[in-house]
Homo-oligomer: A and B are copies of this chain.
Amino acid sequence: MPTTQQQASMHAVNLAQKASLIDQHWSPRVVAEMNDYQFKVVRIEGEFIWHSHPETDEAFFVIEGKLRIDLPQGSIYVAPGELYVVPRGVAHRTAAEGEAKLMIIEPGGILNTGHEGGERTADNDVWI
């Protein structure tokens, strides 16, 4: 988290290019920070587990493919160039038929499985 004025990077981040470097599904990688928030890219395929983040909203932006977000009220479909924010505390399950590449925006330190934990919990704060 930057607490003093930083030297600015002289390069923009290409989200699709960064996502293509990830060698496995469901493994978010940090590509940029904004205050105490992180921008992560992730490749997904199939269904994740139901979980929630009681402490924070979580934003999903689709780079490639089609994201389905299952919510208690039904499913949201998010296409490339679209954004969806899951409110804090709302149970959700992300999924994609075929591969999707996403950007996730949320505070640093948030685990992909929320408070569920378990074997699908990815290493956190890994940059690419």
Which residues from chain A sit less than 8 Å from chain B, CB to CB? 2, 5-16, 31-35, 37, 39, 56-59, 61, 63, 71, 73-74, 76-79, 81-90, 103, 105-107
| CB pairs A–B below 8 angstroms (5 shown) | A10-B73, A12-B79, A13-B82, A35-B56, A83-B103
A32→B13 contact, CB < 8 A: no
Complex CA gap A105/B35 in Å reads 11
Complex CA gap A59/B31 in Å reads 12
A55 to chain B, nearest CB (A): 9
Q: Which residues from B are CB-within-8-Å of A86?
A: 8
A80 to chain B, nearest CB (A): 9
B15→A32 contact, CB < 8 A: no
Quick one: which of B63, B83, B90 contacts A81, CB cutoff 8 A?
B63
Q: Which residues from B are CB-within-8-Å of A83?
A: 12-13, 15, 31-32, 39, 103
Beyond the given A2-B57, A15-B83, A34-B58, please list 17 additional residue pairs across the A-B interface where CB-CB is below 8 A: A5-B90, A7-B87, A8-B73, A8-B86, A12-B76, A12-B82, A12-B83, A12-B84, A14-B79, A15-B81, A15-B82, A31-B83, A32-B85, A34-B106, A35-B57, A35-B88, A63-B81
